[in-house]
A and B are shown apart, each in its own frame.
Chain A
Amino acid sequence: MIIFSMFILICIIMTVIEIRPLKKNDKKKYLVVNGSILIISFIIFLIHEIHNFSITNLMISIFKPFADTIFS
């Protein structure tokens, strides 16, 4: 957990470093894009922590009937 949070922190810092020297107009755009991507990943992380549910689980539950009929 500690490693993970440090990892997130470093990722955010690196992103900020990357964006900082850009022009003002671009900066806003990249902030929005990067921020939303990071938020999405955080939501995925939270959902997994709370409900133990991931996208792969979703895929498996959707496609399992197909798979069972095809590979029976």
Chain B
Amino acid sequence: MKIAEINYLQLASIIFIQILGTSLLIIPGTVVEVAGVDGWISQIVGTIMALIVGMMVFYLYNNFPQDNLIIIFEKLFGKIIGNIFGFGFVIYCILSLSTVIKQGCSITGYIFLPETSPLIFFIVFFLIVVYITKVGMNALARTNVLVMLLLITTFLVIIITGVPLLNVPLKPLLSEGLFPVLKGSLSPISWMGQVILITMIFPYLTSGNKKNIKTTILMTLIVVGIDHTLITMFTLGILGLEAKDLLIPVYSVAKLIEIDLIWRRLDVMIMFSWVAGVTLKMSFWYFCTVLALKQLLHLNKYEPIIIPLAFLTFVIAYYSTNNTVELTFYLGKIYPILSLFSYEFTIPLIMCLTLFIRRKRISKDSKEFTP
């Protein structure tokens, strides 16, 4: 089978949607809760830290442009430890994906159809995710570009129409010291650290030269960081610390926007594009999970395991948290620790160090990537 090709724009859109797909609505809430008015500084700190993760990802790509994460594990740590890391990665993927699904379902449920059984959302998302994964990476990458445009438009609409509503000064600066800001930056780092997922699609980046891929990764991270910072600034500037009080602050901001001529109430349109983003984010995560499991089990094709694995993921997601309070707590406080101490920061760091130390003794005879 021919390997799908991903060009720069598609790579950028994958990173963009993969992070901003869910965070666009949620991130100001989790950050403001910890860092208060200085939430936007947390976002800047988070972006800078995420750039380090981006550099690590590129360092891995530079050395293994033809392999993906599972093969890199094997090459770096040997067969046994590599496989353990690989299975850990699958579990990490399933856990993260289940939180994404839970967020997607609970927020769309709350906003679109509050009286409908939540199971319906799970089934709908299940169907679309299975379908997208079956169709494959090529279509996913192309649709990503489309939805990226949609999300950027949404973002710009919020920002531009939000300007007249800004009336709360972002002061006092650092009144509680630097510590809450750093604590608040954990959540953005964990979100933007998800860029580690593109290690799974290295072999697809066939058409690029390395320098361009580096700029693509880092520039996209910076753009996402700017988006995060701006959206947090606007949420704080429009709502003030009221943002702490709300379930989805950005949605509340969108509710205040009035474009008198065309649309008086824009919030549903914003949710409309958010659903698109979250669907594609789920699909990309799921694609990576399936690919990883397929490689670990040495299967020929990944198509036959799509449905059972999706079922497992959705069952875990369905039974993950009981209410929104628990979900917010998990997303804001538990997940950053969990992810940063595993595959988003610590393990990439170990990998890069190992690679740096034993650069010349990496086994060359290992297997090749097959889609």
Contacts and interface: CB of A to CB of B under 8 A. Distances in A.
Chains A and B directly touch (beta carbon < 8 Å):
yes
Interface of A: 3-4, 7-8, 11, 14-15, 18-19, 22, 26, 29-30, 33-34, 37-38, 40-41, 44-45, 48, 54-56, 59-60, 63-64, 66-67, 70-71
Indicate the size class of the contact surface on chain B. 20 to 34
A19 B333 CA distance: 41
- Top 4 nearest A-B pairs (CB, nearest first) are A56-B320, A41-B312, A37-B308, A67-B333
A22 to B, nearest CB: 7
Nearest to B312: A41
Interface of B: 34, 95, 98-99, 117, 119, 123, 183, 186, 297, 299-300, 303-309, 311-312, 315-316, 319-321, 326, 329-330, 333-334, 337-338
B334 A54 contact: no
Contacts of A40: 312
19 contacts: A14-B307, A15-B308, A29-B299, A30-B304, A30-B305, A33-B308, A34-B304, A37-B309, A44-B312, A55-B95, A55-B316, A56-B99, A59-B95, A60-B326, A60-B329, A60-B330, A63-B337, A63-B338, A67-B333
Given A15-B307, A34-B305, A37-B308, A70 B337 contact: yes
A7 B308 CA distance: 12
A20 to B, nearest CB: 10
B303 A18 contact: yes
A70 B330 contact: no
A45 to B, nearest CB: 6
B319 A54 contact: yes
A45 B320 CA distance: 11
Contacts of A48: 319
Contacts of A7: 123
> Which of B99, B299, B307 is packed against the most chain A CB atoms within 10 Å?
B307
A48 to B, nearest CB: 4
B88 to A, nearest CB: 14
B119 A4 contact: yes
Given A30-B299, A45-B315, A59-B338, 12 more contacts: A3-B119, A7-B123, A33-B305, A34-B308, A38-B308, A44-B312, A54-B316, A54-B320, A55-B98, A56-B321, A63-B337, A71-B333
